[in-house]
Structure formats: structure tokens, C-alpha cells
């Protein structure tokens, strides 16, 4: 299979990353993605690295990014208010998460679709942590009163929002957001779920706010996520229950004397999504010292690659696809 001498590919499912890393160090796995800062900074070091048996490195690519973030369910009574949604965005201190838990290795995404070339609207910026703006918006929308614990109250209802997520390693990140949101009078209740329960909750539209990432495609896709036909019903990908967004954009296009290009339409839709704040650009992309995305990889020195020439379009340098650019040095492994 492929150009070189990889005759067989064995894919192993190990649900716990810590266990998978131990298998990697024992030589049971040939590569391991060092996406989490905990692995890159704390675990990927020692004799195996010092003696040259394992190599770790960073590479940079330019590819579509997962539409990852906090998805707000507009069928939740509290989140129907646009002012509350924008205030929530200004209440979440992601920069502190980046600087502390993520060791400065990440930056925030700015739009629902990023990395799609001409289809990406580079004018959109994620809303920054700004308590002044958050407090002003909440005060003007009737949430002036605060309880003894600092949480805002309106007509006897607390400004309390539940965030559901499905990865235990994210708990520390979201705990920091919870701490800083309290300063704006917003209570974030964190709900860690197993992966199947998390997916079921979201697909049944039973969440208020959910941490989730979608896969990428050849070009941006809006209909499945934002069209009214997919809103207010279970088992669709419109998990924000956004209504009439794409219809509004169609009316805009129909009024134009000169039909806009597909890229211009996509840019306008991204702008409307950002304005409505139904999707919080609140997740991160991995980065090091330059403003492009990176992949981080660990691999044994017995596994070689010739992928550097096409690295711009690679998710991983030792990939689960494109095996024509990788091969195994069997003699090296036998000598070790």
C-alpha cells in the first residue's frame, strides 16, 4: 500500500489518551498526536527522547478548521435574548485559559468557518473578555438585581446557564471560565457527560450551551446548521435552533442588482452568525509562534515520512491517510 513499504495499517482504538501514550512509549503505537499541552510540555520528555528513540516536532499547515465552539440553544428562555448572548461572550475570559492551562500554545477562532481561503470572512473577530460591556448589556436588559452570591436575578430567575461538555481534560479550562463569568453575574453550571450521552443531549436539543466541534468540508456549509427547516426538531445539525437566518440572507441576495459571488454570500452569512452570537467562537486552534495553524506529533524514529513537500494540506505529519508519504524502517527497529 502506498509508494513505500507500509504493507499493513493497524488502527487501534484506545479511549484514554494517557493509556494510549503509555502504549506509545512501549512501542505498541508508532505515532501519537501531542495536541494537549499537558503531553507536549510535561510528558513528552525523558530518556526515550534524549536517546533519540522518539522525536517530537511542530509543523505548520493551512487548512479548514473545525467549526468548534460553544453552541447556544435559542429555545432556552434565557438565551433568546441577543443582549444576554453577547454579554455571555464578553464574560468568558478565554485569554486567561490560553495563558494558563494552554501554556500560550493556542489562539481563539474568530468565525464559524476558518481556513477556507476566499470563503473565509477575515473581518470577523471574536468578542473579547470585557466586563464593562457585559454589565452594561445585562443591566439594560433587566438583569440589574444580584443575589447574595453575586449572580444576577430577573423576576425571581437566576442568570444561570448550564454548559455540557464531553471531554474530562477540558474541565480545568471551563472552570476558569466559570470563575470569571461570576464577575459579570453569570452562573455557569458545568456538566461533564460521557461521549454518547453528550451527543444524545445535543441531538435532542436538550442543552442550553454545549461544547462541540464539527468536521470540516471542501467549502463552508450553512444550511444544515442554520436553516429554519432544521430548527426546533431533534436529530438535525441546527443545534442552536437558529431560525430564518438563511432565509434572511436569501432575501438580501434577491434584492441585489448584481448577484454577489458565492464567496461574498458566505462572508455575509458569517457576519450575520457573528452578529446574532448563536455560536460562541470560544474554542481554540493550536498555534506556536506564528499566526498559522500547526500540527504536533510524536513518532518513533523507525517511522519515516516524506510529507514535508505537501505539509500545507496535512492534518498530521504521520497521518491516518496519505500513507504514500510514510514508511517504516524495519532494520532500525530491529537494531533498537
Each residue's pLDDT, cut to its tens digit, for the chain (336 residues) gives 445 556 777 888 898 889 998 998 888 887 787 778 888 889 888 888 888 778 777 766 777 887 888 999 999 999 999 999 999 999 999 999 999 998 888 888 888 888 788 888 888 888 999 999 999 999 999 999 999 999 999 999 999 999 999 999 899 999 999 999 999 999 999 999 999 999 999 999 999 999 988 888 888 888 888 888 999 999 999 999 988 765 555 554 444 454 456 677 677 777 777 777 766 654 444 443 222 233 444 554 445 555 444 455 555 555 555 555 555 555 555 445
Tell whether 5 is covered by a domain: no
Are residue 198 and residue 217 in the same domain, yes or no? yes
Are residue 31 and residue 146 in the same domain, yes or no? no
Burial of 182 (0-12, 13-18, 19+ CB in 10 A): middle
Query: 235 is in which domain, residue-wise?
Result: 68-284
Are residue 228 and residue 91 in the same domain, yes or no? yes
Tell whether 223 is covered by a domain: yes
Mind giving me the DSSP string for 91-148? H--HHHHHHTTTTT-EEE--SSS-S-GGGS-TT--PPPP-HHHHHHHHHHTT--EE-T
Give dist(CA 222, CA 234) in Å, integer.
18
Tell whether 57 is covered by a domain: yes
Are residue 298 and residue 188 in the same domain, yes or no? no
Tell whether 4 is covered by a domain: no
pLDDT of residue 260: 56
pLDDT of residue 64: 81
Query: Mapping DSSP to helix (H, G, I), strand (E, B) and coil, where does residue 234 land?
Result: coil
Give dist(CA 65, CA 52) in Å, integer.
32
Are residue 80 and residue 55 in the same domain, yes or no? no
pLDDT of residue 189: 98
Tell whether 241 is covered by a domain: yes
pLDDT of residue 321: 52
pLDDT of residue 313: 56
- pTM of this structure: 0.80
Are residue 98 and residue 152 in the same domain, yes or no? yes
- End-to-end Cα distance, the chain: 25
Tell whether 12 is covered by a domain: no
Cα-based angle 13, 313, 118 (whole degrees, multiple of 5):
125
Q: Which residues have C-beta within 8 Å of that of residue 126, sequence separation ≥ 6?
A: 89, 94, 108, 109, 110, 281, 282
Are residue 35 and residue 144 in the same domain, yes or no? no
Tell whether 11 is covered by a domain: no
Are residue 331 and residue 231 in the same domain, yes or no? no
User: Which residue is associated with the grid cell 500500500?
Assistant: 1
Are residue 92 and residue 220 in the same domain, yes or no? yes
pLDDT of residue 53: 78
Asked whether the beta carbons of 282 and 180 are under 8 A apart, the reply is no
Q: Which residues pair with 286 in a beta bridge?
A: 106
Are residue 324 and residue 221 in the same domain, yes or no? no
Of 298, 323, 295, 294, the residue nearest 29 (C-alpha): 298
Are residue 300 and residue 172 in the same domain, yes or no? no
Are residue 318 and residue 276 in the same domain, yes or no? no
Tell whether 306 is covered by a domain: yes
The total domain count for the chain is 2
The domain boundary residue, chosen from 263, 284, 305: 284
Query: For the domain that residue 194 is a member of, what is the CATH number?
Result: 3.10.105.10
Asked whether the beta carbons of 296 and 56 are under 8 A apart, the reply is yes
Amino acid at each position: 500500500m502506498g509508494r513505500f513499504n507500509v504493507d499493513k495499517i493497524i488502527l487501534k482504538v484506545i479511549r484514554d489518551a494517557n493509556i494510549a501514550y503509555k502504549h506509545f512509549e512501549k512501542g505498541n503505537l508508532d505515532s501519537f498526536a501531542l495536541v494537549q499541552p499537558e503531553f507536549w510540555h510535561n510528558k513528552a520528555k525523558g530518556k526515550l527522547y534524549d536517546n533519540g528513540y522518539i522525536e517530537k516536532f511542530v509543523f505548520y499547515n493551512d487548512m479548514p478548521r473545525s467549526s468548534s465552539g460553544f453552541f447556544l440553544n435559542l429555545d432556552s428562555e434565557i438565551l433568546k435574548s441577543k443582549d444576554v448572548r453577547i454579554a455571555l461572550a464578553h464574560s468568558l475570559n478565554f485569554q486567561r485559559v490560553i495563558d494558563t492551562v494552554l501554556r500560550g500554545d493556542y489562539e481563539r477562532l474568530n468565525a464559524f468557518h476558518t481556513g477556507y481561503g476566499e470563503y473565509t470572512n477575515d473581518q470577523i473577530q471574536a468578542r473579547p473578555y470585557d466586563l464593562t460591556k457585559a454589565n452594561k448589556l445585562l443591566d439594560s436588559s433587566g438583569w440589574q438585581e444580584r443575589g447574595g452570591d453575586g449572580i444576577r436575578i430577573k423576576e425571581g430567575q437566576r442568570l444561570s446557564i448550564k454548559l455540557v461538555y464531553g471531554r474530562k481534560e477540558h474541565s480545568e479550562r471551563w472552570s476558569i471560565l466559570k470563575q470569571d463569568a461570576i464577575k459579570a453575574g453569570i452562573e455557569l453550571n458545568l456538566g461533564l457527560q460521557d461521549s454518547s450521552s453528550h451527543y444524545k443531549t445535543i441531538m435532542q436539543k436538550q442543552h442550553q450551551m454545549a461544547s462541540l466541534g464539527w468536521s470540516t468540508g471542501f467549502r463552508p456549509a450553512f444550511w444544515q446548521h442554520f436553516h429554519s427547516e432544521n430548527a426546533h426538531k431533534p436529530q438535525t445539525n441546527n443545534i442552536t435552533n437558529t431560525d430564518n437566518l438563511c432565509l434572511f440572507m436569501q432575501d438580501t441576495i434577491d434584492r441585489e442588482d448584481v448577484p454577489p459571488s458565492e464567496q461574498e454570500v458566505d462572508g455575509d452569512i458569517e457576519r450575520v452568525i457573528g452578529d446574532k452570537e448563536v455560536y460562541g467562537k470560544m474554542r481554540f486552534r493550536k498555534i506556536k509562534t506564528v499566526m498559522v495553524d500547526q500540527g504536533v506529533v510524536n513518532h518513533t524514529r523507525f517511522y519515516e515520512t516524506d510529507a514535508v513537500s505537501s505539509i500545507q494540506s496535512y492534518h498530521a505529519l504521520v497521518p491516518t491517510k496519505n500513507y504514500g508519504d510514510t514508511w517504516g524502517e524495519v532494520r532500525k527497529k530491529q537494531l533498537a
